[in-house]
Structure 1
Amino acid sequence: MRRRLTAIFAADVVGYSRLMGANEAGTLTALEKLRTEVLEPRINAHEGRTVKLTGDGMLVEFPSVVSAVACAVEMQRTMRERNADAPPGQRMEFRIGINLGDVIVEGEDIFGDGVNVAARLESVATPGGIAVSQSVCDHVGNRLNVRFEDRGEQQLKNIEKPVRVYDILLEEPELTTMPSQKKEKPSIAVLPFTNMSGDPEQEYFSDGITEDIITDLSKISALSVIARNTSFTYKGKAVKVQTVGQELGVEFLLEGSVRKAGPRVRVTAQLITSADGTHIWAERFDRDLTDIFAIQDEITHAIVEQLKVKLLPREKKALGQAPTDNVEAYNYYLRGRDFLY
């Protein structure tokens, strides 16, 4: 059985049955014209491979998740232009879902959970829109001139675990910065924690702590959390919190440092209001290395308390689960994950 990691792109036509019922021949002709003039040229330009066509839908894989998103954005923006002058009942719109996942390869076809999640993301995308998974959002980061809107964790049909869903906003940003504004739910960015160990080889550990805090906060549906890749663009840079807040459009920033020495670890963390740089919470943790998961849990719950966020029962349960009780295994895991970036 062959497997590979790939970017999976699933798309179908909105209201296809209605369009076929109204004008079968015209709909088929219009769809074929769109495939020839809009879809296929862009898929080829971004090195995608059409795995299969399913009537009104298509499954495509890309070697790069950035290419998959760029292709989808170009498609949907082009479709908006083509539909601008068409009567509402005659517009042909697509929903697109994109996931980065492991797939099973059989000949020219692909199967597995990675494909299933992409298909379910497509089903929850808005007409003319693009829905993506957390893994896609994290890997794209700020590599494309697009913005992501967090829809929180959703239970997708026939998918065992909830999936955090993001919509891609197709409107061209008017400014190079995203204006900070009051949102319905608090927004936060976790800046890369500084390695204070005096050993560059320990960089993986401080980065790993940062990533795990981002992951934990992302499990909270009442919080809007900036993706890992976006936050890490500030790694090693001396920047003002007000500038970061304005560029990312967030109300709060979490920053800190990590010092690891033998069996002991010291973690400091500060929660800051981006508008004026005011500290609203700060703490220092001097613990045994075996307490590292408890430290992360305390930081997460402190943020929840300070921002007056209400946790759902399943979120409380998810946050209370340590990934392992073997600190040595966790250390090797962080080392391995560091090679991914």
Structure 2
Amino acid sequence: MINSLSLRSNYKTLKKFTYLNQASLGLVSEKTATSMIEFLNEIAKHGNAHMSDQDEVNFFQTLRNTCCRLFNCNSRNLAILSSASELLNQLPYLLDLKKGSKVVLVKSDFPALFRPWQAFSEKNKLKTHFVDENLNVDLTSSIIEIIDNETVAVVVSYIQYATGSRIDLQRLQKITKKLNIPFVIDVTQAAGAIPLDISKIECDAMVCSGYKWLGGHGGVAIAYLSDNLINKTPLMPGWMGAKNPFNINNDKLDLAFGAKRYTQSTMSYISLKSLNVSIKEILNLGIHNIASHSENLKKYLLSSLNKDKFKTLNGNEKLLSSHIISISNNEMDSTKITKILFDNGIICSLRNGFIRISLAHYNDQTDIDKLLSVLNKL
């Protein structure tokens, strides 16, 4: 019997639903939700009666310190943002792009990664080169095959949101480093689910939303920026990115030291509070423990799934992540199956025509058994 890693009582949704959808909108724990309510009632609703200017600045630093523990990075390189897109849209203009003709992206990747480059290419002599994700070929190899001297940047997700395919960051960074190509990584579908040590990854920027595997509420994201980028002027500098945000003057552009300069303005402090609490919950569980737990659930699921009826999106299971699995039925439309699952209280996502199953620390074997009981009867 595979028990949950975290307390299921900390997630009230599980009383009614079998939730296999953390990759979409992640469940927020009772502990995290309580911290948000307490913040609203005790501080936020009272305005500056209970919150000083310095308190506002400190909210960012508290979260920054916690995130540095998660990613093993220096706080000077950690930016707090309102969304991952806030930084992704600036990167085409901030990265040191050498002369070349193409930026390498993945066709099935999340739009937040490729739309900024599509917009950038409309006014610049640059093509967006999309790599197709072949179901039976290592995606990393496919990306490396088309990187050449004409490549000006490589922008990819560590874990593909729709398929669960995993990029080999070490292999990819060797190529980008050798050719001096900027490397941008989105770890939204990895952070909080599998180990990430940014000190071992040479990239220019790494972004992550806070409302999925990190267990926070919407409205806050985090980013790692290279030493080169933290010394640049943001394309969209905001007032909160100053050295002393509340010491306002117009004499000069007085930007904060390091990645702090990329924080634009007042944010949802409730979301900052929630993310700080939820990341600490994850750290207490242990990232390696979480990854091992999802791997055990994945093995159980795939060993019990009717292979005559269902196939995994990637035929080579070694190329899949442990916490995101996409499947399809040989005879029945995935949209119909997703609805049948929902009608049975099982929450999954429909992505690119496949059923995406997310395996989180609060899931246990009974969740998989309920899923299998419906799927194997179809």
TM-score relative to the length of structure 2: 0.26
TM-score relative to the length of structure 1: 0.28
Report which structure shows greater RCO (CA 8 Å, sep ≥6).
2
Q: More strand by proportion, 1 or 2? A: 1
